[in-house]
Amino acid sequence: MKISEISIRRPVFATVISLMLLILGLMAALRLPIRELPDVNRPVVGVSVFYRGANAAVIESRVTQVLEDEISGIEGVEKLTSSSLDQFSRINVEFSLDRDLDAAANDVRERVSRVSARLPEEADAPQVTKVDDAAEPIMYINFSSVGRNALELTEYVDRYVVDRLAAVPGVASIRASGGRRYAMRVWLDREALAARQLTVTDIETALRRENVELPAGRVESTEREFTLRTRTSLDTEEDFRMLVVGRSPDGYLVRLGDVADVRLAAEDERSLGRANELPGVSVGVIPTSKANVLEVSDAAKKQLEAIKETLPEDISADLNIDFSVFISESMKKVVTVMLETLLIVLVVIFAFLGTLRATLIPTVTIPVSILAAALVMTALGYSINTLTLLGAVLAIGLVVDDAIVVLENIARRIEAGEPPLLGAVRGSQEISFAVIATTLVLMAVFVPVSYMSGTLGRLFGEFGVTVAAAVGFSAVVALTLTPMMASKLFAGGIHRGRFAQAVDRRFQILTELYEASLRRVMGTSGPRKVVIAAAALTTLVIALTVFGKPVSWFKLPQEFAPLEDRAMMPVMVSAPEGSSLAHLDRYVRQVETVMMDEVRAGNGRRVIVRSGSFGAQGDVNNATLFLPMTLWDQREDSSQQVAQRVRARTAGITGVRILVMTPPSLGMRGGGRPLQVVLGGGDYGELAAWRDKVIERIQRENPRILGLDSDYQERKPQLQVRIDRNRAADLGVSLQDVGRTLESMLGSRVVTNFLRAGEEYNVILQAREEDRATVDDLGNLYVRSSRSGEMVPLAALVTVEESAGPSSLRRFDRLRAITLSANLAPGYALGDALDYVEQVIREEIPSGVQVSFDGESREFKQAGGGIWITFAFALLIVYLVLAAQFESFVHPLIILATVPLAITGALFGLWLFNSSINVFSQIGGIMLVGIACKNGILIVEFANQLRDRGIEFVEAVIEAASIRLRPVLMTSLCTAFGAVPLMTASGAGAESRQSIGAAVFFGTVLSLALTLYVVPALYALIARNTKSPHHVSDLLDRLSSASTVPADRQST
């Protein structure tokens, strides 16, 4: 007994199945976390080493390279990058997505421990840490004041705001930036130190020795007990000034205030922090990796409102940047698109069926199938994100297909005179093979998508599984609930009103016209020349699609993802190497003025300025400005248009490099510029020479590549301090003392900390500003001889040479590397830019230089090859599934012939919408494999049934195509028009939705238009000698029934 018959015999059973799927699916959907995208963060382990006194070159050769050689052999390493700076080495080990982060970190620790003995003795022990790529703020809150300076404002935020925001459920940490934190600054007077024969080391030792708090036991009596505390810690400026640091040659005590200016001041004054041209402190809210981003954002905003009520009158708080807005708005748009799609699909169904009763039956399939898919999502640990919601939108047009096919076949048999109950049973059984076949094909299409490697596989795996699960559950509903509802709702027959009758008459006319045209094409005696021409055309399309790179037909650009309007515009300002913060700020204010004009025009909310990178302190010659924009429906210009205008207005500002950028799509915040090409080799000098040739040619030939630069800056002014080791040894001076003196006096050094009103702050040593203004000041510093105890000036030990050199040395996959990076002009696709740059590199650079890619360029390169392999595997899997179902290797070829037609339509749609080949349009192309095959399955399967009934071959093909015209049109138009809201989307994330919508709509329409003739023509041409899938089974049954075996032989 078939499942459809069971459902008709037991209607309550069929209803309960669907209700259980609906209820359990709803419960699962409510428990799913919400985020912008699936979790695509790669396991990254960091290794850092501090080597005091070593320059970048020594760090690179003696520390970084040694560690990389050992780490590179670990299983699963996909990318190895490092930066070697003065006194510091940082290595990032990026693993494949399927690697467990804890296991990877343990492997790195084990390899690092092996090689630690080979590192310089003076270097600190390597620190291995797990890097959380997802630890990025979802919002920045700005605090400003008209009555407090930066120190006082930062103090207030640290004490009364940070902890309250950190207490919000789902918040992992709080990141403050732009402020100036208190510290006890000890500005040493070198002349006073020398006069009292004290060194920096003496001061540091005294501060660490005396600034402690020690337990001193307890006092006990018969009645009471007291705990003793020895109060030796330093808390105030006066405490520090009165600290005894030594004795002068005449025996008097020397206090810290005698040799230093001690004040409570800013920990770091080499920073900029403004919002709308006013000083401010930004606080970033970082959610936990598994948190619901929108819930955390809402809770943080509520906490912010509560904080505002307690703020002093002179402090104001504003939400500077809110990345959750894009997530929220894009999801709202997708939900709106989902409702629009549902409405359109229902209208299409009603237009074909003409009755509300008939429309109700496939309508029920939509919520059951979509919500049931949430069960699979929960079991696999998926989330509700823009991609799974996008899958649900596209699934709406697909999940009704099976119900439509079953319903149409049942209605046709009832109208032909069969009793409704019998018509429901026979109609569902007759079409069950086609339903299962189309369902398996659609699900099989997404198997390769789910197994794609890398970021693309993780991104679209959830999308593919969501669609496949919804389609799978729709088949269950179509074969259980649909026939049962048809047997009940059509129990008294199908009564059509005037509208339904009018629809039937017009559709009957359309069917007759189609059948007549098909007979002319097919002929009554076999295929005519037109059929052969159609088959030849199909073969040509297949050949061109597979071998001819169809992208070139429409000259479509290629990129990793369409550039989205994310309501954010960052601008980077870089002054020449060696520039001061004040010099940089003069130019930053000019750019700030231009961006403020956009705020006044209503395109932006505020302008935020930070020196270095946003949220971290960087070199003082770099600054980043942000323009958070107003919501999409509140402005006429897109972020790209605003960026073009700002780029044009700042082009006249000379003396600095200004880069106006647009954030990358697919949530790759922090991913850098889209164009990133890495030159790898054995010598930085040679690489720099080749880099200069490439940059010079590109800047001369291609104005669409903007702000091309490299990360190797060998022009940074430097002072090379060379220590005479022999002289130092003769005088009894250790190199460590020399290095520490230079670091403390000319840089700054944290030597201890102190408590102030319950909060801990740093104590920082540094020379007075006037004692570190010239090169000569370096030689006037003193160290003590361990042999004689005498003071030795550094001028007797060191020589200073002024030079220009790199501030950092980078490596990429164990090679010395220089990365070229740039932005692209609007409309210039990443694929075209990479093709051009690769051509220039081939012509300008010898083959010995290794060329790699990073950032979005790397993702594009990996996705480009992977998607076509996935497409090929999808075709192969679909072919094998069809071959197994039809018991034929010929019938699947007929069905798959529709795929190139669909892909051609998709390319035409992308060209018409001025879109590109990207991961979204490519996923749409993979979907079209299943969508296009579906129509062919309906025609071929029914033609086989008619041939089994003895109908003549050509007549069977014509009748099958004519009878299946209505379900083919209904299912195809539901899918096509279901993609219309995506194709016409607007608002947050619209560019991605438009890309996949255009591909699906035009691919489905063109496939439909040609399938109605190509499939029958090809079937008539090559399937004449094929057998029914049930041929062997039927033959075996006939042989078994005809065979007469004697009873005595049966018993033996």
Q: Which residues of 223-332 form beta strands (DSSP E)?
A: 225-230, 244-247, 253-255, 260-266, 273-275, 278-287, 315-322
Average pLDDT over residues 437-459: 75
Which letter does DSSP use for residue 576 in this model?
P
Residues 318 and 340 in one domain: no
Give dist(CA 931, CA 898) in Å, integer. Answer: 9
Q: How far apart are the first and last CA of the chain?
A: 33
| Percent with pLDDT over 70 in the chain | 89
Q: Does 842 or 527 have the greater pLDDT score? A: 842
Domain assignment present for residue 670? The answer is no
Residue 48 has pLDDT above 70, yes or no: yes
pLDDT score at 548: 47
Alpha helices in 96-225 (DSSP H): 101-115, 150-160, 162-166, 190-195, 200-210
Give dist(CA 838, CA 697) in Å, integer. Answer: 12
Q: b vs e for 980-1012, b when ≥16 Cβ sit within 10 Å of the residue's Cβ? A: bbbbbbebbbbbbbbbbbbbbbbbbbbbbebbb
Torsion sign over Cα 665, 666, 669, 670: negative
Q: SS3 string of 663-705?
A: CCCCCCCCCCCCEEEEEEECCHHHHHHHHHHHHHHHHHHCCCE
**End position of a domain, from candidates 756, 776, 805:** 805
Q: Does 231 or 858 have the greater pLDDT score? A: 858
Q: Does 18 or 776 have the greater pLDDT score? A: 18
> What is the residue-averaged pLDDT of the chain?
81
857-896 tens-digit pLDDT: 887 887 766 667 777 787 888 888 888 877 778 888 888 8
Residue 416 has pLDDT above 80, yes or no: no
- CA-based R_g, the chain, Å: 37
Give Dmax over CA atoms of the chain in angstroms.
133
Q: Which domain holds residue 152?
A: 139-181+270-322
Average pLDDT over residues 521-534: 55
Domain assignment present for residue 1002? The answer is yes
Q: Does 376 or 748 have the greater pLDDT score? A: 376
Q: Are 306 and 158 in contact (CB under 8 A)?
A: no
Domain assignment present for residue 218? The answer is no
In Å, how far from its chain's centre is CA 137? 15
Give dist(CA 873, CA 56) in Å, integer. Answer: 48
Residues 796 and 934 in one domain: no
Residue 546 has pLDDT above 60, yes or no: no
906-933 tens-digit pLDDT: 888 888 888 878 878 888 887 888 888 8
| pLDDT band of 91, cuts 50, 70, 90 | very high
**End position of a domain, from candidates 745, 775, 805:** 805
pLDDT score at 616: 39
Residues 584 and 595 in one domain: yes
Q: H or E stretch including 815?
A: strand 815-824
Residues 478 and 502 in one domain: no
Residue 504 has pLDDT above 80, yes or no: no
Residues 953 and 991 in one domain: yes
CATH number at residue 950: 1.20.1640.10
CATH number at residue 167: 3.30.70.1320
Domains contained in the chain, number: 6
| pLDDT band of 547, cuts 50, 70, 90 | very low
pLDDT score at 496: 62
pTM over 0.85: no
967-1003 tens-digit pLDDT: 888 888 888 888 888 888 777 777 778 888 888 899 8
Give dist(CA 211, CA 756) in Å, integer. Answer: 13
Domain assignment present for residue 709? The answer is no
CATH number at residue 657: 3.30.70.1430
Residue 670 has pLDDT above 50, yes or no: no
**End position of a domain, from candidates 68, 102, 131:** 131
Residues 910 and 943 in one domain: yes
Least confident of 215-219, 327-331, 345-349: 215-219
| pLDDT band of 495, cuts 50, 70, 90 | low
Residue 524 has pLDDT above 60, yes or no: no
668: tokens are 């790759």
pLDDT score at 537: 60
Residues 392 and 506 in one domain: no
pLDDT score at 90: 92
| pLDDT band of 270, cuts 50, 70, 90 | confident
Residues 190 and 276 in one domain: no
Domain assignment present for residue 845? The answer is no
Average pLDDT over residues 263-279: 79
Torsions phi, psi for 765 (to 5 deg): -95, 140
Domain assignment present for residue 699? The answer is no
Residues 966 and 950 in one domain: yes
Give dist(CA 141, CA 134) in Å, integer. Answer: 19
Alpha helices in 762-897 (DSSP H): 776-779, 830-844, 855-886, 891-896
740-775 tens-digit pLDDT: 888 778 777 788 888 887 788 888 888 888 887 777
674-729 tens-digit pLDDT: 889 999 988 888 898 899 899 999 988 888 888 888 888 777 677 777 788 888 88
pLDDT score at 538: 57
Give dist(CA 679, CA 712) in Å, integer. Answer: 11
Give dist(CA 970, CA 976) in Å, integer. Answer: 10
Average pLDDT over residues 955-965: 84
Residues 1041 and 928 in one domain: yes
Residue 593 has pLDDT above 60, yes or no: yes
Least confident of 405-414, 545-554, 582-591, 718-727: 545-554
Domain assignment present for residue 817? The answer is no
pLDDT score at 231: 67
Domain assignment present for residue 571? The answer is yes
Residues 947 and 1042 in one domain: yes
Least confident of 242-246, 708-712, 778-782, 1027-1031: 1027-1031
Residues 906 and 1001 in one domain: yes
Helix, strand, or coil (residue 913): coil
Give dist(CA 534, CA 543) in Å, integer. Answer: 14
pLDDT score at 810: 92
